[in-house]
Amino acid sequence: MSERKIINPPELSKPRGFNHGIIVEGGRLLFLAGQDASDEFGLIRHPGNIVAQYEQVVKNLKVVVEAAGGTLQNIVKLNIYVTNVDLYRTESKALGPIHRAYFGHYYPTMALFEVKGLFNPDAMIEMEGIAHLSKE
């Protein structure tokens, strides 16, 4: 049996948009490669629009997780890489509804990093992580 337990110690600030920790037992781990806002032809969708790129990235993650037999709610760890953290913060209110449309009210553990650039110069955001799937 696969099991997950959310860990949010009271000694730490109350998390908003993430969880401090998740314990996983049993099941399988799926390691998710970095996904940017590329479409099926490798072209970045929505150049210059971080909100629309965020949604495309989540759609790409969804395709990978579902191909492995899971859902986005199986993701236990996400690293988010952005080329402009100030823009990400400014657009965070617009990102929330997109997150909830795909993840519901579930939040994996997350970290946000500002990077100088991503492999595709039109990419503004990339995410990679780990999903915890049930046994086959």
Q: Is residue 23 part of a domain?
A: no
Portion of the chain with pLDDT greater than 70, in percent: 98
Closest C-alpha among 95, 112, 113 to residue 49: 95
Q: Is residue 18 part of a domain?
A: no
Q: Is residue 15 part of a domain?
A: no
CATH, residue 89: 3.30.1330.40
Q: Is residue 92 part of a domain?
A: yes
Q: How many CB atoms lie within 10 A of CB 5?
A: 9
Q: Are 114 and 46 in contact (CB under 8 A)?
A: no
Tell me the pTM: 0.92
- pLDDT, tens digit, for every residue of 33-48? 999 999 999 999 999 9
Domains contained in the chain, number = 1
Residues of the domain holding 121: 32-129
Q: Is residue 17 part of a domain?
A: no
Separation CA 82–CA 37 (nearest Å)? 12
